[in-house]
Chains A and B, each alone.
Chain A
């Protein structure tokens, strides 16, 4: 490489690391505008949740509340048992998370540390469940849950989702990172198979367990079709189904709906902010590596 092109590339690197102030300001403006546009439905819902029904009905449609009030939140709490919906969703989602962590870490352990015949075939059986859309099996599953007497119960909402091929795969990847020497050393020290899992593998794999937990929680909390089918009692509804009932009321009170929507969305948004790293790791596990 000649001296002049070296100098040229040094200039490019320089320019790229430190964008010109004007260009940088332009980037910020563009990013801010686009971010607000993308998040607009969410921001608007937040804004409407503080407006009265009469203000929402004015023309042109308002964007920001003139007289912000918490009225809608009081009204929605009186109209539907939203606290109970949140409780139901938290119970079910937590149960699914705990169930998935147990079943997936046991299975991932077998797929990473234990050696036995048919292991690869069984792993393929696990992965093949990912190819079967839940909606295609929803009719027999509905019948199973009904015949077990699990309609309108927490177990009906949670148990079908307590095994996860996705989580097993993620945990297996993490377990494979643990040096094989630790396993050999533990065996020599006389540790049992299960004790090695409990005392070495699990503590070393906390980030991956976090990913599985967040992913499991979000996808269960946000479920709609299944809880819609198997719950009829108002008090057994989950947040998503409960909040959607407002849509089918005689007179749609938008301020109320948006207050409810915000209350339902806040836990997952908080989880996104807190667990962004874990979530991203989970989402990109299958995508980036070729």
Chain B
């Protein structure tokens, strides 16, 4: 499954926003032009602005209609009670948010979401790194293996979930049969609450593995050969080479995946819908799945909008926190 493009360029955004501030500063400190004069628009400015806007208009209209206005409407809807049809009935203030805080279902949902992320993201990245190192060899025909291992990038979440549904099947599935061969009695994957979230996580790790491998392989290929040679001359080998050279050098890619994969997990819907439908007893009812159930099965659009606001806030906060704290540990060349 492809990563949702969200977050991909959060870093770029920060950089561009930074440069925008910078440009403004420079204009305003220019000694020959007073700041007030710069802010005044000449006829030429207006003309070039109109031309620029004309080129941006198709995108801006679509973003307005399908991104920005809906985001505003989500906030707005979250303050109201709604009819089954979705029309607003009565103003409700922040009651939906208060309900969220006291709701055990919602708290469980947050726990399920956190567990899902915890089981999926670190394992997926670690596995991706091991496989990428394996694929980063100069061998004839290596591209065949690269294509095979990254094939899940073209596999949709729906297709992947259906394949794993069969593997998890208690009587027909190969998974428990293989486990029984090594003397382990396989669990009822999709029926035991504590196991079901693991089953969903395994499926998700597999679906995102292709993306992780491609991103990390590209990162590995960017490491200059001389660094390895220098380390080798200094006597570094094997595991030490991996932890001291490979991991730090590939850390920008690891960091990128940490952001992208976490956000993807927060947005995951398909595999839950097809494997567990949020069950058993709400064990896999993550935040997104709650939004789906409350809005489109229970028709409580106002309440579900409050949940959507929480989802939006979570994605935003997580991204900012990750950029603020994790990026310090990252080695950039």
Contacts and interface: CB of A to CB of B under 8 A. Distances in A.
Interface of A: 5, 8-9, 12-13, 17, 19, 24, 27-28, 30-32, 34-36, 38-39, 41-42, 44-45, 48, 56-57, 59-61, 63, 102-104, 106-107, 109-110, 114-144, 146, 159-160, 162-166, 168-169, 193, 215, 218-219, 221-222, 224-225, 228-229, 240-241, 243-244, 247, 254, 257-258, 261, 264-265, 268-269, 271-273, 276, 279-280, 283-288, 290
Given A136-B312, A139-B291, 9 more contacts: A48-B166, A135-B267, A219-B2, A222-B2, A264-B156, A272-B150, A286-B9, A286-B12, A286-B256
B88 to A, nearest CB: 11
B94 interface: no
B20 A120 contact: yes
Contacts of A63: 174
Contact of B56 (A9, A106, A146): A106
Interface in B243-295: 252-253, 256-257, 263, 266-267, 269-270, 273-274, 288, 291-292, 295
Given A28-B139, A41-B164, A244-B162, A60 B177 contact: yes
B239 to A, nearest CB: 17
Contacts of B308: 135-139
A120 B15 CA distance: 11
Given A132-B6, A134-B267, A218-B2, A273 B147 contact: yes
Contact of A258 (B66, B166, B301): B166
Contacts, number: 334
B163 A44 contact: yes
B311 A117 contact: no
Contacts of B316: 131
B81 interface: no
A28 B295 CA distance: 51
Contacts of B232: 9, 12
> B interface, how many residues as a size bin?
35 or more
Contacts of B69: 140
B93 interface: no
Contacts of B267: 133-135
Contact of A120 (B16, B71, B167): B16
A95 to B, nearest CB: 13
Interface of B: 1-13, 16-17, 19-20, 23, 41, 45, 48-49, 51-53, 55-56, 58-60, 62-63, 65-71, 73-74, 77, 86, 131, 134-135, 137-139, 142, 144-145, 147-160, 162-167, 171-174, 177, 206, 209, 211, 214-215, 218-219, 222, 229, 232-233, 252-253, 256-257, 263, 266-267, 269-270, 273-274, 288, 291-292, 295-296, 301, 304-305, 308-309, 311-312, 315-316, 319, 332-333
Contact of B315 (A106, A136, A222): A136
